[in-house]
Structure formats: structure tokens, C-alpha cells
Amino acid sequence: MRLFIAEKPSLGKGIAEYLPGSKAKGNGCITCGDTVVTWCFGHIFEQEEPDFYTSATVPTTPKGKKKWRFDELPIFPQEWKRKPKEDAKSQIKIIRDLLKKADLVVNAGDPDREGQLLVDEVLEELGWKGPTQRIWLAALDEQSVKKALGNLKDNKAYRLLRDSAEARGRADWLTGMNLTRAFTLRNTGSGVLSVGRVQTPTLALIVARDEKIEHFKPKDFFIPRIQASPNASADTAFWANWMLREDADGVDAEGYLTDKKVADTLARQAQAAGKAVVTAFESSEKQQGAPLGFSLAELQKTCSAKFGMSAQAVLDAAQALYETHKAATYPRTDCRYLPEEQLGEAGAIVQKLSRLGFVKEAQGADPARKSAIWNTGKVTAHHAIIPTGSMQGQMDEFVAKVYDLIVRGYLALFYPPFVYRATKIVLDCTKESWVATAKVPVKPGWKAVYGGSLQGMGDEEGDEESGSGTIPVLKKGQTLTVVTADVQSKQTKPPARFNDGTLIEAMSNIHKVVDDPEAKKKLKETSGLGTEATRANTIETLLTRGFIERKGKQIISTQAGRGLIHVLPKELTDPVLTARWEDALSGISEGRVSLEQFEAAQQKAVARLVETAKTLQVSVGQARPTGAGGKGGKGGKPGQGGKSSGKGPQCPSCKKPTITLKTKKGSAFFKCEGCSGCWWPEKTDPKKLGAKWEARN
């Protein structure tokens, strides 16, 4: 018997669909002739907790947990051990029983390092020693699956890829477990000082943004402008702004004209001159193709801007579209491209979307149109998020909104380009240059799918104009009348607070805030801090631990969060650490560095940082955030006193069950059985936590 072990059910079922032989569904598997396909649910084994490796003589807390002690640090496992996840034990038994009957196993993990390890570790833990092959599959259309099935490789060829994923996991464990304990033990405040390779630099981003805003001092600056006309008529008049010169009087080092007297003089002299000569006139039609498809980060950014949804809520909605409604493809993708092999399916999908209610939008789509999104070479482990054309079950409000965006984004790919006329004019008046630009729509093209509006859709061209919106056709050398002139008074503004969308974008493009050239390059290659699958959870973890809070759409650091960032060594808050790790992990997958060498380097760094922690005196208290996962609120103290009054909703952070408790004053609150987070029902907006929360309430 040949046994495929897929990373997740959807992948297993997608492979089974195109295997020869009659199909028979079993318990946790599908039989296809002499082949059986089974699956994991992501990682079904996890690293043992630090207490597993510490001395049995370490005293325990009243809850049976071993107490944290400096003399136990750093904790370096001599032999790494994994344990089954509680909710995966039944599936592990299914896989174990199937392995006993198998002659050949095929690793069907996702086509990346984590997918390689995910199945390999199952085989290792269950003691499989037989022959193993690897299927490398980035898409689930018929052509892609059949091509991959005909091109199976020996799994041994991917050993180094597996080692790089193992190295990443061990390094995260060594850093997080040891340094969280070390800095917490030096904390005289009440908070646990959680440290992590991704969460700590992410928190540092938020703290830096908040402090920049709070220390920001607005600066007045001025823009002289003239209104010119070819015939002195108001109907043909347009505004042109003074073209700033860095060497001009009154211009500061940052490129702002800050001297109002200079601005007034420029405007007054221009109006007195009365004439301006056209020195440059450019006007041409330009085209802009539809945006590429949605990666998860792009979808989170857009939904945050348009609907105010949290990153986790968007992920939950996209996951529901994928798993529950079968309406969209796999959501945890960093790719915005589609394999060319799937272009042939576009016509059928467009027809199905029309029958699902997108009649008008589908009518304008030409499935034969091939845009830049169709590029197999740029497809990573998963392609862009697109609709499947199928639909199961009734969607709630926010899932429906996310689905609407995904559908319109897909249909827009088959529309003509958006056409606009871009005009730029440069005038000479009093030996100064004045410029006006305009962007005027000509044909809506793909923008018609969105009703002509693209707010929050990453319209990179933008619609900004300097001067007036309507500029007449002019000729170089033509003399115009200066109708009037004035000075616009403006003020510099601080950067905006982060929201879920802009924070996800900043994490994805962390290279933009890094100065080190090599680190910048590596971070750009690896898509920044965290992955598409983990960024939303990182935000929720910071919320749960009280380091950040939500105020409306804004994400703001708490005093505890700032205190943590201010006491930690810079190397833990700087994303350069992630870049160095990624460089070393690439070295492992390429055979330049061994897993053992990498782990030894991590142990050395952790040991040094533990010693650093011993020299510090830290005082970081526990925050009282207002969002989901926060510990605190009004009407009492969550976690103190009270009896269980039943089951609560699923925890939005760790997805574990919760119980409903009451304080001594009788106020109800939720407490998570997994991460111990507590929050008040009235302090949580269920819609922003996604469909799962709403369903369980």
C-alpha cells in the first residue's frame, strides 16, 4: 500500500481527487485503489515544555507547575523531545495504524521548509523506516496535481530543508522559553515579560511609532501658488504650485518652506508680473492594470482600511471561506500570483460566480484576458487567494464582506486596464518654476468592478493632484495670464497610529526600517517579521499579554509594553536578529551550515543574554488593555474569585475553550483555559473577533 500524508485535510482531499482508482472515504483518510491518503492538521506534534527538561527537585507552584528559577537557566535540551498535541491524538492513531500497512510513504507537506518538517516529524515520532517519497505541490488544479504526481522525488533529497525548519523551531524555543523566564525573574513588577523573535521586534515597532507621535512637534510650512489662464477666463484657469528649490531662502533642511514672508513675496511678485510662460507641457493617456491577487497580508490590510476588521478577524473569515464554505482557496499565503496552468479554469469560475449573484460584474469579464498575475515562476508555497466558484452554507456579515472583496479582485483581472489622462505643466513666472498636475479618468476598465472606487485597495498610482483638476491643452512657449496668487498655509503631521492593516504591512516590509544593508536585503527576501500564518496571532498574543491595546481601529502600546522594550537589549528588539537567522537557515538548507552549528550558536547567544538579564533590575507592571485577551476591565478583577457559570466563547488568541466566571462583585467575565487570558464581554466587539466568536456566543 502507498500512503500519502498531507499537511492538512484540504490538501489530502485535493490529491485524492486526481489519484486513479475508485474513491472510498474512511475515518481520517481516503482510499484510492491501492493508495490511501491521510492528513495532519498542521503540526500534530509539538516541542516539550521547559519543565520537561528541568530537575525533578525543582519546587512546584500550587497548580503543579515547576517554579521558575535562575539556577535552572539557560535550559538547553540534550535530546529534544516532542509530544502529541491533545486535539490530534485520534488522528495520530489513524496515521500510526496506516503506517503499519504501508509499503511506501509520500510526504505531502506544503512546498516549503515548514511543510517538509511537519510530515517528517510525524514519520520520525511514529518510527517509520521504510521508503519515502516527496510530492511538491503548489496548486490544487487538475493539471498541477497530475504533473506533481508524475514527478515524485526521494524524500531524502529534502533533508536539509527539514533541518532548516527544525533549526528555526529550536531557536524560537531557546530564545522564547529562556529569555522570557530570565527577564521575568528580574522583574519586580507584576507582569510576565514575554520575549520572542517575532513578537518582541513587532512590539518595538509599535512602541517606536507611539513615542514618535507623542514627541512630534508640528511645523508650519507654506506653499505659494498662482492661478493661470490662457485667456484670462475663470473657465480655463488652473492653479500651479511653486516648485520648491532647496537653495531658496526660507527652505529648511527637511525641504519645507517655513518662512511666510518669503512665501508671501513669491506670490506677490508673481501676481505683479501678471504673465507666465509654459516651459513644459506633457499630456498622455496611461493605463493601469488590475491589482495582483490577494495575499493574506494584502487582504488584511484592505479589510482593515475598508471595514475596520482586525487581522485575526480577517484570517478567521478567510479560513471560514476556505474550510466551511468552500468558497475561496487557501488563505495563509504570501503570494499574489497564480499558476498559468489555472488560466484555463477561469471561464468556468467566472460563470459560477455569475450564478452566485455577481451577474453584472461577470458579464464584463473576459476569461481569455491574461494579465501579469499569471506567472507560475512567482508562485510560492501557495498561490494568491481567489474564489473557487463554489458556495456552501450561509455566511455571516463580515465573512460575506471578505468574500465580496476576493470575488471582485478576481473578476477585475479579466477587465481592460483603467485608462486615465496624466497631465503635467511647468510655468515660468518671475524666474521661478510653478507646476500643476492632473489625473483625469478616461475609461474605468477594471475599476468598474468596484464601482469606480478603489479606497483601501492599494491603488499605487493614487489620484493626488497638484494645482487644479482640469488643465487646458497648452503649448510650450505659450504665454498665460496670472489671474491671482496666494499662499497655502499647512502643517506637518505625525505618522498615524498603527491599525491591524498597517501593522501587518509594516511587519511584511520590515526591511524598510532597517539600516544594515545586508539585513535589509535578507529581510526583503524573506518577507519580513513572521509569516502570513503567524502575524495575526502575534498581534493577538501581544494583546493577550497586555503589551498593546486597541482603541477603536488603533493599536497602541501600553506602559507595560513600553517598559519591556526599554529594558530589553537592543538585539532582541531589532529585526536584524531575524535577518541573521534567516541567513543562517538558508545556509542550512543549502548545506553551508549544519543544524548542530546553528543550534550551538543560538545556545551561546541565549546564555549571554541570560547573563545580561541577571545584571538588570527591571520593574514592569501588568497593563490593563481594553481589547480581546486583555487582563483587566471594570467591575472587578478577572481571575480573582468567582465560580464557573458555564462555558464561554472560543478564545480569540489561542483558540482554546473558555469558561465564564464571576468576580466577587458578581460581574461576569471570560477566562481562557489555554493562555489564561481574561476579558469582559462588554469590552469586546464580537464582530471584530470574527465569525467563530459570534457563532459560539
CA–CA gap between residue 80 and residue 167 (Å, rounded): 11
| CATH, range 296-412 | 1.10.290.10
Distance CA 516, CA 529 (A): 16
- Give buried/exposed letters for 461-496 (b at 16+ CB in 10 A, else e): eeeebbbbeebbebeeeeebbbbebbbeeeeeeeee
Beta bridge partners of 647: 659
> What pLDDT, on a 0 to 100 scale, did the predictor assign at position 641?
35
Query: In the structure, what pLDDT confidence band is assigned to residue 650 with cuts at 50, 70 and 90?
Result: low
In our burial notation (b when 16+ CB lie closer than 10 A, e otherwise), range 66-102 reads: bebeeebbbbeeeeeebeebeebeebbeebeebbeeb
> What is the residue-wise DSSP string for 439-508?
EEEEE-GGGGGGTT--TTS--TT----SS-S------TT-EEEEEEEEEEEEE--PPPPEEHHHHHHHHH
Q: What is the mean pLDDT of the chain?
A: 86
Among 25, 2, 34, smallest CA distance to 107 is for 2
DSSP assignment, residue 71? Answer: G
Superfamily the domain 167-214+497-614 falls into? Topoisomerase I, domain 2 (1.10.460.10)
Q: Convert the pLDDT of each residue in 242-297 to its tens digit.
A: 999 999 999 999 999 999 999 999 999 999 999 999 999 999 999 999 999 999 99
Secondary structure (3-state) at 23 = strand
Residue 471 has pLDDT above 50, yes or no: yes
Percent of all residues in the chain with a pLDDT value above 70, rounded to a whole number: 86
Rounded (10°) angle between helices 159-185 and 595-614: 10
* Rounded Cα–Cα distance for residues 342 and 138 (Å): 12
73 grid coordinates: 537557566
Residue type, 539: I
- The CATH class of the 220-289+418-491 domain is mainly beta
- C-alpha dihedral over 348, 353, 357, 362, to 10 degrees? -80
Percentage of the chain surpassing pLDDT 90? 66
The DSSP bridge pattern shows strands 23-26 and 29-32 to be antiparallel
Residue 350 has pLDDT above 80, yes or no: yes
Residue in the structure block whose three cell numbers are 532647496: 246
What ranges do the domains of the chain cover?
2-162, 167-214+497-614, 220-289+418-491, 296-412, 647-696
Q: How far apart are CA 140 and CA 12, in angstroms?
A: 10
- The three-state secondary structure class of 219 is coil
Q: What cell does 264 get?
A: 508671501
The lowest-confidence range among 58-72, 111-125, 193-207, 479-493 is 58-72
Query: ω before 59 within 30° of 0 (cis)?
Result: no
2-162 folds as Rossmann fold (3.40.50)
Q: Which one is catalytic: 330, 337, 410, 420? A: 330
Top-confidence residue, 44 or 55: 44
Judged against a pLDDT cut of 80, whether residue 454 lies above it is answered with no
Residue type, 478: Q
Cα angle value 68/178/192 (rounded, 5°)? 60
Q: Tell which wins on pLDDT, 536 or 690.
A: 536
Residue-wise DSSP of 519-566: HHHHHHHTTSSS-TTTHHHHHHHHHHTTSEEEETTEEEE-HHHHHHHH
Contacts by 186-189, CB closer than 8 A, 24 or more apart? 186/613, 186/614, 186/616, 186/617, 186/618, 187/618, 187/619, 187/620, 188/617, 188/618, 188/619, 189/560, 189/563, 189/618, 189/619, 189/620, 189/621, 189/622
pLDDT at 666: 55
pLDDT for 189: 77
Strand partners, 487: 224
Q: Find the range with the poorest average confidence among 260-264, 364-368, 506-510, 633-637.
A: 633-637
pLDDT given at position 651: 63
Hey, which residues does 481 pair with through a beta bridge? 229, 275
pLDDT band at 626 (very low <50, low <70, confident <90, very high): very low
Using the predicted structure, report yes or no on whether residue 421 has a pLDDT greater than 50: yes
Which uninterrupted H or E stretch holds 228? Answer: strand 220-229
Say what the pTM is: 0.80
With bands split at pLDDT 50, 70 and 90, how would you rate the model's confidence at 467?
Answer: low
Q: Which tens digit of pLDDT belongs to each residue from 504-526?
A: 999 988 888 777 787 777 777 76
Active site residue 330: yes
Task: Please tell me the distance from the alpha carbon of residue 641 to that of residue 446, in angstroms, as a whole number.
Answer: 58
**Separation CA 306–CA 640 (nearest Å):** 39
CB-side neighbour CA atoms (13 Å) of 401:
20
Say which residue, 364 or 468, is predicted with more confidence.
364
Position 527 pLDDT exceeds 70: no
Q: Which residue has the cell 537557515?
A: 585
Q: How confident is the model at residue 381 (pLDDT cuts 50, 70, 90)?
A: confident
